[in-house]
Amino acid sequence: MARSTDGAALRQALLQLLEADPPQEERLLADLERRQEEGQPLYSAALYLLTHLQFPEAEARRHWRRILAHRDLLRMTLGRDVGLRVALLDYFVNVSKELRNPKVIEISIYERTARSAVTDGLTGLFNHAYFVQALRREVQRSRRHGLTVSLALFDIDDFKKVNDTLGHLEGDKVLMKAASLIHDSLREIDVAARYGGEEFAVILPETGREGAFVVADRIRARIGEHFRRRKDGPRVTVSGGVAAFPGDAGGVEDLIRRSDEGLYRSKADGKNQVTLVDGERRRNPRVPASHHVLLRGRTVRQAAARTKNVSEGGLLLNLKQSVPVGSPVSLVIRPRGGGAPLGLKGEVVRVAPAGEGAGYDLGIRLAADPNQAAVVFRRLTGAGA
């Protein structure tokens, strides 16, 4: 059994032994004994898989030894080896009486049921909730052992056009195929998830930023090539952003934000590309800032919005309605500290739901020369004041 890096990996390793045909119980026992000093909750994990009973590790170890002794007693009484599972069931029902009404079920069936709670029903990838848990676990492990974990975020370019022109059924097919191509491009230890809508996330444990960029760009190229070869379907491309912990971010939320910055830049620079965030990007960071904004465009006559953060190249706004990516917009910003309003022009390069009842977040690339952009940035953040 390979050394596990966390509870999920240990669980999978134990499942492989338990589901082997024939069951590799003796190997399981030997591996447990050999690895009990490594600090992993081996006995409690094994008993939970077999009985769904939860014990502290020390108590689980005591139960395990009593189960082995009970198995030997049954062997001598019956003149045959009843096996680990029968001995375990008889022990918990008739000896310790931890189980009163046990239900027999195949482990594989139970695992499929449990997995359905953490997977996306359409794509089969992990869902957003599991992604957050997995990323938090990998960041903690990387911090503890001095490792690097990278995160890649992907967004299908112009996906709304696919739904609008070909229908949601075709859009679902695009999502499923893109998810399949992402999954097939990864290692067993990597985690692929549907981040939301047409967005996907990939966690790459023990992978540096440059290596993660290679993986992400390979995924981008494979998706583009697959849909380019299709004669009867839409031409689909994806954009991506990559960042790594600890080099680019100090924690989970920061890592997601930094990867999203790379994705934002890929969209702003023409789409169908992957951007690796770098040091230069951090020297011009996005700064949280809240200012009232009036936004106008082809698809919106006038809408009230509020800035969430600003940089020298763009703004992140929150407003109630969505505005199509690529839309040119005019902005009138009223700085929070007073002073004359700022009139600016820009382009919508990213749209994402901000959460239930919270409207939409719009990434706006400003159409301004560098000197004007620097002045706007100082006005809105107070930098250099």
Compute the distance between CA of residue 328 and CA of residue 349 in angstroms, rounded to an integer. Answer: 10
Which of 1-5, 10-14, 173-177: highest mean pLDDT?
173-177
* Residue 220 one-letter amino acid: R
Six-digit token string for 8: 């999920």
Does residue 198 have an active-site annotation?
yes
Is pLDDT of 7 > 60?
A: no
Place of tokens 């599991």: 130
> Is there a cis peptide before residue 335, judged by omega within 30 degrees of 0?
no
CA angle 30, 138, 178 (to 5 degrees): 105
Pairing state of beta strands 314-319 and 303-310? Answer: antiparallel
- The residue ranges of every structural domain in the chain are 7-116, 128-283, 287-381
Compute the distance between CA of residue 29 and CA of residue 43 in angstroms, rounded to an integer. Answer: 10
Place of tokens 């959460």: 355
Is pLDDT of 344 > 60?
A: yes
Compute the distance between CA of residue 289 and CA of residue 308 in angstroms, rounded to an integer. Answer: 5
Superfamily of domain 287-381: predicted glycosyltransferase like domains (2.40.10.220)
Burial 182-207 (b: 16+ CB within 10 A, else e): bbebeeeebbbbbbeebbbbbbbbbb
> Is there a cis peptide before residue 22, judged by omega within 30 degrees of 0?
yes
- Helix (H) or strand (E) holding 3, with range, is none
pLDDT band at 367 (very low <50, low <70, confident <90, very high): confident
The residue ranges of DSSP E strands in the chain, in sequence order, are 149-156, 191-196, 199-205, 238-245, 274-276, 287-288, 292-297, 303-310, 314-319, 328-334, 342-353, 360-366
Q: pLDDT tens for residues 253-264?
A: 989 999 999 999
Six-digit token string for 110: 């139970």
Compute the distance between CA of residue 365 and CA of residue 265 in angstroms, rounded to an integer. Answer: 9
Longest Cα separation, the chain: 94
Compute the distance between CA of residue 302 and CA of residue 370 in angstroms, rounded to an integer. Answer: 27
Q: pLDDT tens for residues 190-237?
A: 999 999 899 999 999 999 988 999 999 999 999 999 998 877 778 899
pLDDT band at 274 (very low <50, low <70, confident <90, very high): very high
pLDDT band at 22 (very low <50, low <70, confident <90, very high): low
Which of 12-16, 122-126, 153-157, 225-229: highest mean pLDDT?
153-157
Length of the chain: 385
The β-bridge partners of 351 are: 362
Is pLDDT of 358 > 50?
A: yes
Q: Which of 57, 188, 198, 210 is catalytic?
A: 198
Distant-in-sequence, close-in-space partners of 286: CB < 8 Å, separation ≥ 6: 257, 261, 309, 310, 311, 316
The pLDDT value recorded for residue 248 is 87
Q: Quick one: which of 345, 295, 342 has its CA closest to 323?
A: 295
Q: What is the mean pLDDT of residues 285-290?
A: 79
Six-digit token string for 77: 């009484």
Q: Under a CB-based contact definition with an 8 Å cutoff, are residues 41 and 57 in contact?
A: yes
Distant-in-sequence, close-in-space partners of 313: CB < 8 Å, separation ≥ 6: 268, 284, 365, 366, 373
Which residue has better confidence, 264 or 339? 264
Cα dihedral 44/47/49/52 (nearest 10): -100
pTM above 0.85, yes or no: no
The pLDDT value recorded for residue 122 is 92
* Residue 124 one-letter amino acid: G
Q: pLDDT tens for residues 66-88?
A: 988 998 999 899 999 888 888 88
Q: pLDDT tens for residues 39-72?
A: 567 778 778 777 778 888 888 888 888 988 998 9
Compute the distance between CA of residue 342 and CA of residue 380 in angstroms, rounded to an integer. Answer: 9
Is pLDDT of 385 > 50?
A: no
Superfamily of domain 128-283: Reverse transcriptase/Diguanylate cyclase domain (3.30.70.270)
